[in-house]
Amino acid sequence: MARYIGPVCRLCRREGEKLYLKGERCFTPKCAIERRNYPPGQHGRELQFRRSRPSDYGLQLREKQKLRRIYGVLERQFRRYFEIAQRARGMTGALLLILLERRLDNVVYRLGFASSRAQARQLVRHGHFEVNGRKVDIPSYQVKPGDIIRVRESSREKEYFKALAERLEGHRPPPWLQLNPQDLSGQVLRLPVREEIDTRVQEHLIVEFYSR
């Protein structure tokens, strides 16, 4: 499975805002945006002051790249999500976001089982979760209403999951998910709506990008 393996803080600096790709580190002074809020590269500081107003295409491209990076999806898969959303009935931009939210790695992250989507993706790939009693190790698996996501019995003896129940006590997942900290499980109550997705992105620009 192809994935980005470079420094993720570089991606935040490229977009000029926090994408929260490193979990708890993003909330500390160690965050790259807090320390070096200018584009990456040898001439990053110079570009910070020499940037002109981006074109419409540039704005659309940046929104598309930002959303891809937030969810950790490469271009070909992202384009496939867009085509699915485009064929469905409703607002294409909102449907695209809902498809991304329904990814298993994102649901694991939203439930609090991981501090970042990258960590959630790794936990899923290593086979630590089951959906409706069956092991699922595909991060892009699309959950549906009624699905129950649970840490597998064979994984609960690991140190990470032993300490997880206590950390989950104060966690509040989005309204479309229900968390059971004691059982290390969660349930998809329904599909999310756009207003419940806190991803700061102008999805209409992404629709315009692919509609050129």
Q: For the chain, what are the domain ranges?
A: 8-98+199-210, 103-188
pLDDT (0 to 100) of residue 45? 57
pLDDT (0 to 100) of residue 122? 95
Fold of 103-188: 3.10.290
CA gap 22, 6 in Å, rounded: 13
Q: What superfamily does domain 8-98+199-210 belong to in CATH?
A: Ribosomal protein S4/S9, N-terminal domain (1.10.1050.10)
One-letter identity of residue 85: A
pLDDT (0 to 100) of residue 153? 95
Positions of the chain with pLDDT lower than 50, given as ranges:
1, 43, 49
| Long-range contacts (CB closer than 8 Å, 24 or more residues apart) made by 113-119 | 113/151, 113/164, 113/168, 113/184, 113/186, 114/23, 115/23, 115/24, 116/20, 116/21, 116/22, 116/23, 117/21, 117/70, 117/71, 117/72, 118/8, 118/21, 118/22, 118/72, 119/23
pLDDT (0 to 100) of residue 26? 55
β-strand partners of 178: 187
| Residue 60: Cβ within 10 Å count | 21
pLDDT (0 to 100) of residue 104? 98
pLDDT (0 to 100) of residue 188? 98
